[in-house]
Structure 1
Amino acid sequence: MPESSGSTTLSPLEIFERFRANVLAGEVGLTEDLLAEDVVIELPLSPPESPRYFKDRAQYTAFTTATRAALPVRFDEFRTIAVHQSADPEVIVAEYELSGTLSTTGKSETAAFVVVLTARDGRVVQWREYQDVSALVRALGPQEG
Protein backbone atom coordinates (compact mmCIF):
# COMPACT_ATOMS: atom_id res chain seq x y z
CA MET A 1 0.00 0.00 0.00
CA PRO A 2 1.42 3.47 -0.83
CA GLU A 3 2.58 5.56 2.09
CA SER A 4 0.83 8.69 0.81
CA SER A 5 -2.92 9.02 0.84
CA GLY A 6 -5.22 10.50 -1.74
CA SER A 7 -2.47 11.43 -4.18
CA THR A 8 -1.75 10.13 -7.63
CA THR A 9 0.93 7.45 -7.73
CA LEU A 10 4.06 8.71 -9.46
CA SER A 11 5.48 6.76 -12.39
CA PRO A 12 9.22 6.02 -12.55
CA LEU A 13 9.59 8.84 -15.11
CA GLU A 14 7.71 11.29 -12.88
CA ILE A 15 9.96 10.34 -9.97
CA PHE A 16 13.02 10.95 -12.14
CA GLU A 17 11.65 14.38 -13.14
CA ARG A 18 11.09 15.26 -9.46
CA PHE A 19 14.66 14.14 -8.73
CA ARG A 20 15.88 16.44 -11.53
CA ALA A 21 13.89 19.42 -10.24
CA ASN A 22 15.15 18.87 -6.69
CA VAL A 23 18.79 18.76 -7.83
CA LEU A 24 18.42 21.99 -9.81
CA ALA A 25 16.75 23.64 -6.80
CA GLY A 26 19.86 22.89 -4.74
CA GLU A 27 18.10 20.27 -2.66
CA VAL A 28 18.75 16.59 -2.06
CA GLY A 29 17.66 14.88 -5.27
CA LEU A 30 15.95 11.85 -3.77
CA THR A 31 13.84 13.28 -1.00
CA GLU A 32 12.27 11.11 1.67
CA ASP A 33 8.82 11.32 0.05
CA LEU A 34 10.20 9.74 -3.15
CA LEU A 35 11.72 6.73 -1.39
CA ALA A 36 10.16 3.52 -0.09
CA GLU A 37 11.07 2.81 3.52
CA ASP A 38 13.07 -0.27 2.49
CA VAL A 39 14.68 1.31 -0.59
CA VAL A 40 18.01 -0.07 -1.78
CA ILE A 41 20.44 2.50 -3.18
CA GLU A 42 23.55 1.22 -4.95
CA LEU A 43 26.45 3.35 -6.18
CA PRO A 44 28.90 0.67 -7.41
CA LEU A 45 31.36 3.08 -9.05
CA SER A 46 31.71 5.48 -6.11
CA PRO A 47 35.25 6.04 -4.86
CA PRO A 48 36.35 3.44 -2.28
CA GLU A 49 36.13 5.97 0.56
CA SER A 50 32.46 6.68 -0.23
CA PRO A 51 29.50 4.48 0.68
CA ARG A 52 28.34 2.29 -2.17
CA TYR A 53 25.25 0.68 -0.65
CA PHE A 54 22.33 1.94 1.42
CA LYS A 55 19.73 -0.49 2.73
CA ASP A 56 16.89 1.82 3.73
CA ARG A 57 15.42 5.31 3.48
CA ALA A 58 16.62 6.52 6.90
CA GLN A 59 20.23 5.51 6.24
CA TYR A 60 20.27 7.09 2.79
CA THR A 61 18.54 10.35 3.70
CA ALA A 62 20.79 10.89 6.74
CA PHE A 63 23.86 10.49 4.54
CA THR A 64 22.65 12.61 1.62
CA THR A 65 21.30 15.41 3.78
CA ALA A 66 24.66 15.76 5.55
CA THR A 67 26.63 15.38 2.32
CA ARG A 68 24.56 17.91 0.36
CA ALA A 69 24.83 20.46 3.19
CA ALA A 70 28.63 20.10 3.21
CA LEU A 71 29.08 20.07 -0.58
CA PRO A 72 29.89 23.56 -1.85
CA VAL A 73 28.49 22.94 -5.33
CA ARG A 74 25.84 24.84 -7.26
CA PHE A 75 24.28 22.63 -9.90
CA ASP A 76 23.85 24.74 -13.02
CA GLU A 77 22.43 22.28 -15.52
CA PHE A 78 20.83 18.86 -15.51
CA ARG A 79 20.66 17.52 -19.04
CA THR A 80 18.63 14.39 -19.63
CA ILE A 81 20.29 12.49 -22.47
CA ALA A 82 17.77 9.66 -22.70
CA VAL A 83 15.22 7.77 -20.65
CA HIS A 84 14.67 4.16 -21.64
CA GLN A 85 11.55 2.29 -20.58
CA SER A 86 12.27 -1.35 -19.84
CA ALA A 87 9.98 -4.32 -20.43
CA ASP A 88 9.07 -3.97 -16.75
CA PRO A 89 6.83 -0.87 -16.31
CA GLU A 90 8.35 -0.30 -12.85
CA VAL A 91 11.87 0.17 -14.29
CA ILE A 92 13.49 2.93 -16.34
CA VAL A 93 17.10 3.55 -17.28
CA ALA A 94 18.01 7.24 -17.40
CA GLU A 95 21.16 8.79 -18.82
CA TYR A 96 21.95 12.32 -17.74
CA GLU A 97 24.71 14.88 -17.33
CA LEU A 98 25.00 17.15 -14.34
CA SER A 99 27.01 20.38 -14.56
CA GLY A 100 28.01 22.27 -11.48
CA THR A 101 30.30 24.95 -10.11
CA LEU A 102 32.34 24.57 -6.97
CA SER A 103 31.56 27.72 -4.98
CA THR A 104 34.92 27.72 -3.18
CA THR A 105 36.98 27.87 -6.40
CA GLY A 106 34.60 28.74 -9.24
CA LYS A 107 35.69 25.55 -11.00
CA SER A 108 33.00 24.03 -13.24
CA GLU A 109 32.68 20.45 -14.38
CA THR A 110 30.18 18.15 -16.03
CA ALA A 111 29.72 14.53 -15.04
CA ALA A 112 27.77 11.78 -16.76
CA PHE A 113 25.43 9.43 -14.90
CA VAL A 114 23.30 6.40 -15.68
CA VAL A 115 20.64 5.29 -13.24
CA VAL A 116 18.44 2.23 -13.17
CA LEU A 117 15.35 3.31 -11.25
CA THR A 118 12.76 0.85 -9.98
CA ALA A 119 9.56 2.30 -8.52
CA ARG A 120 6.58 0.66 -6.91
CA ASP A 121 3.48 2.37 -5.53
CA GLY A 122 4.90 5.75 -6.53
CA ARG A 123 8.19 5.42 -4.63
CA VAL A 124 11.72 4.33 -5.47
CA VAL A 125 12.41 0.79 -4.26
CA GLN A 126 15.80 0.50 -5.98
CA TRP A 127 18.19 3.08 -7.40
CA ARG A 128 21.42 1.87 -9.00
CA GLU A 129 23.58 4.76 -10.18
CA TYR A 130 26.74 4.70 -12.27
CA GLN A 131 28.78 7.91 -12.08
CA ASP A 132 31.63 9.47 -14.06
CA VAL A 133 33.90 9.37 -11.02
CA SER A 134 36.86 10.96 -12.84
CA ALA A 135 34.78 14.10 -13.54
CA LEU A 136 33.70 14.25 -9.90
CA VAL A 137 37.32 13.95 -8.76
CA ARG A 138 38.38 16.69 -11.21
CA ALA A 139 35.65 18.98 -9.92
CA LEU A 140 36.33 18.45 -6.24
CA GLY A 141 40.10 17.99 -6.48
CA PRO A 142 42.81 20.63 -6.11
CA GLN A 143 42.58 23.69 -8.32
CA GLU A 144 44.96 23.41 -11.28
CA GLY A 145 47.28 26.27 -11.47
Structure 2
Amino acid sequence: MPTPREVFDKLSEGVTSGDWSELSALYAEDTVVEHPQRPPAPTRVVGRATVHEQFTRGLVSQLRLRRKNVLIHETTDPELIVAEYDYSGEALATGKTFEAANIQVLRVRDGLIQWSRDYHDYLRIAAARDGLEELADGAEKAEITVEPLPERPVSTADPKSPRGVFERLVYGVSDGKWDELADLYAEETHVTHPFLPGAPALKSRQDLREHFAQVSRSATKIQARDLVIYQSTDPEVVIGEFVYQGESVRPYRVSNIFVMRVRDGLIVESRDYGDYVALAAAGGWLRDLIKRL
Protein backbone atom coordinates (compact mmCIF):
# COMPACT_ATOMS: atom_id res chain seq x y z
CA MET A 1 0.00 0.00 0.00
CA PRO A 2 1.51 3.40 -0.96
CA THR A 3 2.56 5.59 1.96
CA PRO A 4 1.31 9.19 2.29
CA ARG A 5 4.71 10.41 1.09
CA GLU A 6 4.58 8.13 -1.96
CA VAL A 7 1.07 9.30 -2.81
CA PHE A 8 2.19 12.93 -2.57
CA ASP A 9 5.16 12.14 -4.83
CA LYS A 10 2.78 10.71 -7.44
CA LEU A 11 0.62 13.80 -7.15
CA SER A 12 3.68 16.04 -7.63
CA GLU A 13 4.82 14.03 -10.66
CA GLY A 14 1.38 14.36 -12.23
CA VAL A 15 1.19 18.10 -11.59
CA THR A 16 4.65 18.65 -13.06
CA SER A 17 3.92 16.51 -16.14
CA GLY A 18 0.55 18.22 -16.64
CA ASP A 19 -1.26 14.90 -16.71
CA TRP A 20 -4.37 16.34 -15.06
CA SER A 21 -6.82 13.70 -16.32
CA GLU A 22 -5.14 10.95 -14.27
CA LEU A 23 -4.66 12.75 -10.95
CA SER A 24 -8.13 12.23 -9.51
CA ALA A 25 -7.33 8.49 -9.28
CA LEU A 26 -5.11 9.36 -6.29
CA TYR A 27 -8.16 10.54 -4.33
CA ALA A 28 -10.75 8.48 -2.45
CA GLU A 29 -14.24 8.20 -3.89
CA ASP A 30 -15.62 10.37 -1.07
CA THR A 31 -12.59 12.64 -0.72
CA VAL A 32 -12.86 16.19 0.60
CA VAL A 33 -10.50 18.92 -0.65
CA GLU A 34 -10.61 22.31 1.03
CA HIS A 35 -9.03 25.60 -0.03
CA PRO A 36 -9.24 27.73 3.14
CA GLN A 37 -7.64 30.83 1.59
CA ARG A 38 -9.03 30.77 -1.92
CA PRO A 39 -10.47 34.20 -2.81
CA PRO A 40 -13.08 35.52 -2.65
CA ALA A 41 -14.17 32.80 -0.18
CA PRO A 42 -12.97 29.36 0.91
CA THR A 43 -14.09 26.40 -1.18
CA ARG A 44 -14.79 22.76 -0.38
CA VAL A 45 -14.73 20.09 -3.08
CA VAL A 46 -16.41 16.77 -2.30
CA GLY A 47 -15.95 13.53 -4.22
CA ARG A 48 -13.46 12.14 -6.72
CA ALA A 49 -15.65 13.11 -9.68
CA THR A 50 -15.68 16.76 -8.62
CA VAL A 51 -11.92 16.70 -8.06
CA HIS A 52 -11.52 15.32 -11.59
CA GLU A 53 -13.60 18.18 -12.97
CA GLN A 54 -11.51 20.70 -11.06
CA PHE A 55 -8.29 19.23 -12.43
CA THR A 56 -9.47 19.12 -16.04
CA ARG A 57 -11.62 22.25 -16.29
CA GLY A 58 -10.68 24.44 -13.33
CA LEU A 59 -7.93 26.97 -12.69
CA VAL A 60 -5.07 24.46 -12.62
CA SER A 61 -5.80 23.37 -16.19
CA GLN A 62 -4.95 26.94 -17.25
CA LEU A 63 -1.50 26.75 -15.70
CA ARG A 64 1.77 24.94 -16.39
CA LEU A 65 3.27 24.04 -13.03
CA ARG A 66 6.46 22.46 -11.72
CA ARG A 67 6.78 21.55 -8.07
CA LYS A 68 10.19 22.12 -6.48
CA ASN A 69 11.81 22.67 -3.07
CA VAL A 70 9.50 20.04 -1.58
CA LEU A 71 9.70 19.57 2.18
CA ILE A 72 7.58 16.78 3.67
CA HIS A 73 6.69 16.80 7.36
CA GLU A 74 5.66 13.37 8.53
CA THR A 75 3.57 13.55 11.69
CA THR A 76 2.88 11.34 14.68
CA ASP A 77 -0.39 10.45 12.91
CA PRO A 78 0.82 7.89 10.32
CA GLU A 79 -1.96 8.83 7.88
CA LEU A 80 -1.17 12.53 7.86
CA ILE A 81 1.61 14.56 6.24
CA VAL A 82 2.19 18.25 5.66
CA ALA A 83 3.98 19.26 2.45
CA GLU A 84 5.62 22.61 1.78
CA TYR A 85 6.77 23.35 -1.76
CA ASP A 86 7.15 26.01 -4.42
CA TYR A 87 5.64 26.27 -7.88
CA SER A 88 7.52 27.50 -10.90
CA GLY A 89 4.56 28.26 -13.11
CA GLU A 90 3.28 29.78 -16.32
CA ALA A 91 -0.19 31.11 -17.05
CA LEU A 92 -1.01 29.62 -20.45
CA ALA A 93 -3.31 32.45 -21.55
CA THR A 94 -0.79 35.23 -20.89
CA GLY A 95 2.57 33.46 -21.10
CA LYS A 96 3.58 35.13 -17.82
CA THR A 97 5.67 33.12 -15.37
CA PHE A 98 5.58 33.14 -11.59
CA GLU A 99 7.11 31.63 -8.47
CA ALA A 100 4.66 30.78 -5.69
CA ALA A 101 4.79 29.11 -2.28
CA ASN A 102 2.31 26.41 -1.24
CA ILE A 103 1.50 24.15 1.69
CA GLN A 104 -0.87 21.17 1.93
CA VAL A 105 -2.16 19.03 4.76
CA LEU A 106 -3.07 15.56 3.48
CA ARG A 107 -4.66 12.53 5.07
CA VAL A 108 -3.95 9.35 3.10
CA ARG A 109 -5.80 6.14 3.96
CA ASP A 110 -5.54 2.84 2.08
CA GLY A 111 -3.28 4.52 -0.46
CA LEU A 112 -5.78 7.27 -1.37
CA ILE A 113 -6.15 10.92 -0.35
CA GLN A 114 -9.04 10.98 2.11
CA TRP A 115 -8.94 14.73 2.60
CA SER A 116 -6.65 17.60 1.82
CA ARG A 117 -6.39 21.22 2.90
CA ASP A 118 -4.54 23.18 0.24
CA TYR A 119 -3.03 26.64 0.71
CA HIS A 120 -1.62 28.47 -2.33
CA ASP A 121 -0.26 31.92 -3.14
CA TYR A 122 -3.33 33.10 -5.04
CA LEU A 123 -2.03 36.66 -5.31
CA ARG A 124 1.01 35.77 -7.41
CA ILE A 125 -0.97 33.29 -9.50
CA ALA A 126 -3.61 35.95 -10.21
CA ALA A 127 -0.91 38.42 -11.23
CA ALA A 128 0.42 35.98 -13.84
CA ARG A 129 -3.11 35.46 -15.19
CA ASP A 130 -3.77 39.24 -15.36
CA GLY A 131 -6.48 38.55 -12.84
CA LEU A 132 -5.60 40.93 -10.01
CA GLU A 133 -8.53 43.27 -10.63
CA GLU A 134 -10.96 40.34 -10.60
CA LEU A 135 -9.37 38.98 -7.42
CA ALA A 136 -9.50 42.35 -5.66
CA ASP A 137 -13.08 43.06 -6.69
CA GLY A 138 -14.25 39.65 -5.49
CA ALA A 139 -12.37 39.84 -2.19
CA GLU A 140 -13.65 43.34 -1.40
CA LYS A 141 -17.26 42.34 -2.08
CA ALA A 142 -17.15 38.99 -0.30
CA GLU A 143 -19.69 38.53 2.47
CA ILE A 144 -17.99 37.52 5.71
CA THR A 145 -19.80 35.57 8.39
CA VAL A 146 -18.28 36.02 11.84
CA GLU A 147 -19.60 33.44 14.26
CA PRO A 148 -19.65 33.56 18.06
CA LEU A 149 -16.37 32.40 19.53
CA PRO A 150 -16.37 28.95 21.12
CA GLU A 151 -14.89 28.59 24.57
CA ARG A 152 -11.11 28.44 24.42
CA PRO A 153 -9.82 24.90 25.05
CA VAL A 154 -7.86 24.36 28.25
CA SER A 155 -4.24 23.65 27.37
CA THR A 156 -2.59 20.55 28.76
CA ALA A 157 0.74 21.17 27.01
CA ASP A 158 4.00 22.05 28.71
CA PRO A 159 4.29 25.85 28.14
CA LYS A 160 7.85 25.41 26.84
CA SER A 161 7.06 22.50 24.52
CA PRO A 162 6.60 23.22 20.79
CA ARG A 163 2.83 22.78 21.18
CA GLY A 164 2.75 24.95 24.30
CA VAL A 165 4.75 27.75 22.66
CA PHE A 166 2.51 27.64 19.59
CA GLU A 167 -0.58 28.00 21.78
CA ARG A 168 0.99 30.86 23.76
CA LEU A 169 1.73 32.75 20.54
CA VAL A 170 -1.71 32.35 18.97
CA TYR A 171 -3.67 33.06 22.13
CA GLY A 172 -1.24 35.80 23.15
CA VAL A 173 -2.31 37.66 20.00
CA SER A 174 -5.93 37.08 21.01
CA ASP A 175 -5.26 38.52 24.47
CA GLY A 176 -3.38 41.53 23.11
CA LYS A 177 -0.11 40.60 24.83
CA TRP A 178 1.89 42.42 22.16
CA ASP A 179 4.72 43.39 24.53
CA GLU A 180 5.28 39.75 25.52
CA LEU A 181 5.11 37.94 22.18
CA ALA A 182 8.69 38.63 21.07
CA ASP A 183 9.94 36.84 24.18
CA LEU A 184 8.64 33.58 22.69
CA TYR A 185 11.37 33.82 20.01
CA ALA A 186 15.09 33.07 20.26
CA GLU A 187 17.59 35.95 20.11
CA GLU A 188 18.48 34.69 16.64
CA THR A 189 15.46 33.39 14.76
CA HIS A 190 14.09 33.27 11.22
CA VAL A 191 10.45 34.14 10.55
CA THR A 192 9.02 34.50 7.05
CA HIS A 193 5.57 35.23 5.59
CA PRO A 194 5.60 33.43 2.21
CA PHE A 195 2.21 34.79 1.04
CA LEU A 196 2.96 38.44 1.89
CA PRO A 197 4.70 40.26 -0.97
CA GLY A 198 7.72 42.29 0.06
CA ALA A 199 7.78 41.00 3.64
CA PRO A 200 11.37 40.81 4.92
CA ALA A 201 12.60 37.88 6.96
CA LEU A 202 12.59 38.64 10.68
CA LYS A 203 15.93 37.39 11.98
CA SER A 204 16.12 38.44 15.61
CA ARG A 205 14.02 38.89 18.72
CA GLN A 206 14.39 42.63 18.25
CA ASP A 207 12.97 42.34 14.72
CA LEU A 208 9.98 40.53 16.21
CA ARG A 209 9.60 43.15 18.94
CA GLU A 210 9.39 45.89 16.31
CA HIS A 211 7.05 43.77 14.18
CA PHE A 212 4.58 43.19 17.01
CA ALA A 213 4.77 46.84 18.07
CA GLN A 214 3.81 47.88 14.54
CA VAL A 215 0.97 45.35 14.41
CA SER A 216 -0.33 46.50 17.79
CA ARG A 217 -0.67 50.09 16.59
CA SER A 218 -2.99 49.09 13.76
CA ALA A 219 -4.65 46.03 15.27
CA THR A 220 -8.28 45.92 16.21
CA LYS A 221 -9.67 43.21 18.45
CA ILE A 222 -8.59 39.86 17.06
CA GLN A 223 -9.34 36.37 18.32
CA ALA A 224 -7.91 32.98 17.40
CA ARG A 225 -10.20 30.00 17.05
CA ASP A 226 -10.33 26.46 15.64
CA LEU A 227 -6.67 25.76 16.43
CA VAL A 228 -5.47 22.32 15.32
CA ILE A 229 -1.84 21.38 15.94
CA TYR A 230 0.01 18.54 14.22
CA GLN A 231 3.15 17.19 15.86
CA SER A 232 5.92 16.35 13.41
CA THR A 233 8.06 13.27 13.87
CA ASP A 234 10.81 15.85 14.32
CA PRO A 235 10.18 16.66 18.01
CA GLU A 236 11.10 20.33 17.51
CA VAL A 237 8.56 20.98 14.73
CA VAL A 238 4.83 21.61 14.99
CA ILE A 239 2.35 22.73 12.34
CA GLY A 240 -0.79 24.58 13.36
CA GLU A 241 -3.93 25.55 11.45
CA PHE A 242 -6.21 28.19 12.91
CA VAL A 243 -8.49 31.12 12.15
CA TYR A 244 -8.10 34.75 13.16
CA GLN A 245 -11.47 36.42 13.57
CA GLY A 246 -12.00 40.12 14.17
CA GLU A 247 -13.06 43.43 12.71
CA SER A 248 -11.14 46.14 10.89
CA VAL A 249 -12.91 48.35 8.35
CA ARG A 250 -15.26 45.37 8.15
CA PRO A 251 -15.35 41.97 9.85
CA TYR A 252 -12.86 39.34 8.84
CA ARG A 253 -12.26 35.63 9.30
CA VAL A 254 -8.89 34.55 7.91
CA SER A 255 -7.24 31.13 7.82
CA ASN A 256 -3.61 30.57 8.72
CA ILE A 257 -1.14 27.72 8.86
CA PHE A 258 2.24 28.10 10.56
CA VAL A 259 5.20 25.72 10.48
CA MET A 260 7.26 26.32 13.60
CA ARG A 261 10.51 24.97 15.02
CA VAL A 262 10.86 25.36 18.78
CA ARG A 263 14.13 24.65 20.56
CA ASP A 264 14.67 24.98 24.32
CA GLY A 265 11.27 26.64 24.65
CA LEU A 266 11.94 29.35 22.03
CA ILE A 267 10.93 29.74 18.38
CA VAL A 268 14.03 29.47 16.18
CA GLU A 269 12.19 29.27 12.86
CA SER A 270 8.66 29.87 11.60
CA ARG A 271 6.99 30.08 8.21
CA ASP A 272 3.66 31.83 8.63
CA TYR A 273 1.24 31.25 5.74
CA GLY A 274 -1.48 33.84 6.37
CA ASP A 275 -4.46 34.85 4.23
CA TYR A 276 -3.28 38.39 3.53
CA VAL A 277 -5.72 38.86 0.65
CA ALA A 278 -8.72 38.49 2.98
CA LEU A 279 -7.04 40.47 5.75
CA ALA A 280 -6.15 43.33 3.42
CA ALA A 281 -9.62 43.36 1.89
CA ALA A 282 -11.16 43.69 5.37
CA GLY A 283 -8.73 46.47 6.30
CA GLY A 284 -9.07 48.47 3.11
CA TRP A 285 -5.44 48.03 2.01
CA LEU A 286 -5.76 45.29 -0.62
CA ARG A 287 -4.91 47.67 -3.48
CA ASP A 288 -1.74 48.71 -1.64
CA LEU A 289 -0.86 45.04 -1.15
CA ILE A 290 -1.27 44.41 -4.87
CA LYS A 291 1.11 47.29 -5.64
CA ARG A 292 3.85 45.44 -3.76
CA LEU A 293 3.90 42.92 -6.60
Output the TM-score relative to the length of structure 2: 0.42
Q: Is 1:113 matched up with 2:81?
A: no
Deviation at 1:62, TM superposition (A): 1.7
Matched residue, 2:78: 89
Deviation at 1:111, TM superposition (A): 1.1
Q: What is the rounded CA distance, in whole Å, between the counterparts of 1:18 and 1:74 in structure 2?
A: 17
Q: What is the rounded CA distance, in whole Å, between the counterparts of 2:17 and 2:43 in structure 1?
A: 25
Matched residue, 2:50: 59
Deviation at 1:142, TM superposition (A): 5.8
CA contact (8 A) 1:19 1:29 kept: no
Deviation at 1:35, TM superposition (A): 0.7
1:58-93 Cα offsets, whole Å, 9 max, x none, are 12212221126851x322x31133110011010000
C-alpha spacing 1:30/1:127, structure 2 compared with 1 (3 Å): farther
CA contact (8 A) 2:55 2:61 kept: no
C-alpha spacing 1:68/1:38, structure 2 compared with 1 (3 Å): same
Candidates 15, 22, 38, aligned match of 2:14: 22
CA contact (8 A) 2:21 2:56 kept: no
Q: What is the rounded CA distance, in whole Å, between the counterparts of 2:69 and 2:4 in structure 1?
A: 14
Matched residue, 2:31: 39
Q: Runs of 5+ in structure 2 lacking a partner?
A: 133-293
Q: Is 1:13 matched up with 2:2?
A: no
Output the TM-score relative to the length of structure 1: 0.81
Q: What is the rounded CA distance, in whole Å, between the counterparts of 1:142 and 1:37 in structure 2?
A: 33
CA contact (8 A) 1:28 1:68 kept: no
Q: Runs of 5+ in structure 1 lacking a partner?
A: 1-8
Deviation at 1:33, TM superposition (A): 1.8
Deviation at 1:26, TM superposition (A): 1.1
- Structure (1 or 2) with the larger CA radius of gyration: 2
| Structure ranking higher on relative contact order (CA contacts 8 Å, 6+ apart) | 1
Matched residue, 2:64: 74
Secondary structure of 1:94's aligned partner: strand
1:38-76 Cα offsets, whole Å, 9 max, x none, are 101001111127x710121112212221126851x322x
User: Once the two structures are aligned, what percentage of the paired residues are identical?
Assistant: 33
CA contact (8 A) 2:81 2:106 kept: yes
Matched residue, 1:124: 113
Secondary structure of 2:20's aligned partner: coil
The answer to which of 89-98 and 129-138 deviates more is: 129-138
